[in-house]
Amino acid sequence: MPKQNVVENRFGQLQKHIWALRKRFLICLAATGMLCLASTLLPAANDHSSSSSVAPDIAVKIGAVSTSPGASALGVQFIDGSSSSVIVNRNGRKYFIDLANHTVREVESPKLIPGPHLQKTALVNSNANNAQLGAKIFEEKCSMCHGKDGKGMKAVGTPDFTSSKVQASLTKETIINIIKHGKKGTLMPAWEGKLSNDEIVAVGSFVKSLGSGDSVPQRAAATAARENDKVYTPADDFLYSLPTGRRLDRHGFYVNFTHRFAFDPAFSGKARGATLLGLDGFSVASFGLRYGITDKLSVSAYRSPSVIGRPIELMAAYHLLDEHDRYPFNATFRFSVDGQANFSKNFTTNLEGIFSRSLFKRAQMYFVPTVSLQNRRLIVTPTLEDAPPDLPGINSFSLGVGGAFDIRPSVALIAEVIPTLVNGRALGIHRPAYAFGIQKRLWRHAFALGFSNSPGTVVSQRAGTRATFLGDASADTPSGLFIGFDLMRQMY
Ligand code: HEC
């Protein structure tokens, strides 16, 4: 049979089964919906049971922080003028939450946990280092309420420490006294027992120095702020199809849901507008769960649908280095095995290194060398009943390169290319897989919409292209680009 006919035949069969498939996806969708519903209901139930212990802590009067009654019952304080941060009271502790950057900082932490940088600094007892220590503590423990530069935040009701008027009213002893004991009836917490005496003196000196224009601590503060400014925090586990290797939360539970509308090119063919760039066509929808056993070690299970061989992928990942810990780059290693027909045949073993580096706070580059042992050619499995055919295993090596660039605090442009450098041809890959798109982050949630020539999202399949998949060499030209999206949600 000529190749053309084979393809048409496959499509004919495909069409027949689209309705059957849609039914399946609807069930899948309903299940996902129920899962999401459960996730929103469960924490709410927890909140309710602990609200009685939370309630007494909330009656803190503070400058211009507005507290709506519903929120205050939950221990939440909104900050006027800020759409991305809130203060949460939980069991007598206050947490400052930055939604856009996914950071939660305890405002009153039981003890200072020094990073490697700080430990080193604390050991050396010279004046300059004391000033640096003061600046560092201020940055970590005070700046969220007093501002990075100590100029105060109107919304929290903190004074401007750089103003000579404010400084005139504060002796060093007063300052240290206030830091130790806090200010009753205001948000200013007591730090005695949470910071050591030396640390209180150091940060007190730093506060005092803000008025005098003393250059050493100010420079130290500026450096600390700049260092932090250089680190990018990825919004999602995926860039588009490439992994970002980002650190997960210990006991964090994540859902990934990807759609690739590989059968309808977005920009060619007839009247694409009517089909929303292919969005109302048939998609390859994959679903996975990821769990952080620690903040370094995570495991995941991920499945793609029958039309792409029904693979299940099981993975373990270890996050070795992180720029947030002042390493020069991030590094994660992942080991995964996927098997087609629901993990029963055509097994592929993958080893990945994920290396990334922030260019500055708003951009990051990714390099993902990947070895796939016994990889398989990417083909359409024409019917639901059919198991994917036995395919020869081919060892391959690909090098994914990608980048994310924040054009707004919560919106990034993303792009990636995944050339298969070893045995690409044997796998039928003649042009590298590539994708570009736009990604929106919300706290614990990310959504990416993009265009790509690659229908696969499991590790072994992501370097394969639409031409290989459809058996049509011309399907990989730019006019064959198709639309797709990713949803990521951290449930816990
Ligand atoms: C949760 C927010 C918050 C944090 C964290 C915080 N402060 Fe405060 N601080 C305040 C508020 C609000 C005031 C103003 C209270 C008032 O006088 O109304 C204040 C007042 C002060 C004052 C007295 C200023 C004055 O004019 O009376 C000093 C000194 C001070 N803070 C130092 C610190 C230091 C040092 C740290 C970190 C170790 C820190 N604060 C952490 C909220 C905070």
Sorted by where each starts, the structural domains of the chain and their CATH numbers stand as: 54-106 (no CATH), 116-229 (1.10.760.10), 233-490 (2.40.160.40)
Q: 365 forms bridges with which residues in the sheet?
A: 357, 403
285, pLDDT greater than 60? yes
Q: Give percent above pLDDT 90 in the chain.
A: 41
- 145, 177, 209, best to mutate for ligand 1 pocket (most atoms within 8 Å of CB): 145
The pLDDT of residue 9: 57
Ligand 1 pocket residue status of 191, Cβ below 6 Å: yes
Beta-bridge partner residues of 286:
258
Give, using CA atoms, the residue closest to atom 24 of ligand 1.
Answer: 159
Task: From residue 24, give the alpha-carbon distance in Å to each of 287, 288, 311.
Answer: 13, 17, 16
Most confident among 224-238, 334-348, 372-386 (mean pLDDT): 334-348
Per-state percent for the chain, helix, strand, coil, to nearest 5: 35, 30, 35
Average pLDDT over residues 417-446: 93
| pLDDT confidence of residue 75 | 78
Q: What is the pLDDT of residues 266-284, one digit of tens each?
A: 877 655 556 677 777 788 9
Between 102-106, 148-152, 164-168, 321-325, the lowest mean confidence (pLDDT) is in: 102-106
Q: What H or E segment, with its residue span, contains residue 94?
A: strand 93-98
pLDDT at 123 over 60: no
For 444-490, the pLDDT digits (tens) are 899 999 999 999 999 999 999 998 888 888 888 888 899 999 999 99
Rounded mean pLDDT of 216-224?
A: 53
Backbone angles phi, psi at 124, to 5 degrees: -90, 125
> What is the DSSP secondary structure assignment for residue 473, as one 8-state letter?
G
β pairing state of 312-321 and 297-303: antiparallel
Contacts of 455 (CB under 8 A, 6+ apart): 260, 262, 284, 308, 378, 461, 464, 465, 466, 469, 482
Give the pLDDT score at 293: 94
* Residue 477 in tokens: 């030209």
- b vs e for 407-425, b when ≥16 Cβ sit within 10 Å of the residue's Cβ? eeebebebbbbbbbeeebe
Q: Side-chain half-sphere of 175: how many Cα atoms within 13 Å?
A: 21
Helix axes 197-212, 127-137, angle to 10 degrees: 90
CB of residue 186 inside a 6 A radius of ligand 1? yes
Distance of CA 284 to the CA centre of its chain: 23
Q: Are strands 93-98 and 85-90 parallel, antiparallel or unpaired?
A: antiparallel
Contact assessment for residue 148 and residue 135, using Cβ atoms and an 8 Å cutoff: no
3-state secondary structure of 332: strand
For a pocket test of ligand 1, which of 145, 160, 188, 197 has the largest count of ligand atoms closer than 8 A to its C-beta?
A: 188
**Helices 127-137/215-229 angle, 10° precision:** 50
Which ligand 1 atom is the nearest neighbour of the CA of 144? 5
Round to whole Å and give the CA distance between 247 and 233.
9
**Distance separating the N- and C-terminal Cα atoms of the chain:** 53
pLDDT at 35: 52
For ligand 1, atom 5, name the residue with the nearest CA: 142
Establish whether residue 178 lines the binding site of ligand 1, counting it when its CB lies within 6 angstroms of any ligand atom: yes
Residue 479 confidence (pLDDT): 82
325: CA distance to ligand 1 center in Å? 27
What's the whole-number mean pLDDT along residues 116-143?
Answer: 66
98 versus 152: the higher-pLDDT residue is: 152
Name, of 149-158, 334-343, 380-389, the range with top average pLDDT: 334-343
Supply the residue whose CA is at minimum distance from atom 29 of ligand 1: 175
Residue type, 96: F
CA distances, 38 to each of 26, 31, 365, 463 (Å) = 18, 10, 36, 35
- Ligand 1 atom nearest the C-alpha of 169 is 26
Per the CB < 8 A criterion, the answer to whether 468 and 428 are in contact is yes
**pLDDT confidence of residue 383:** 77
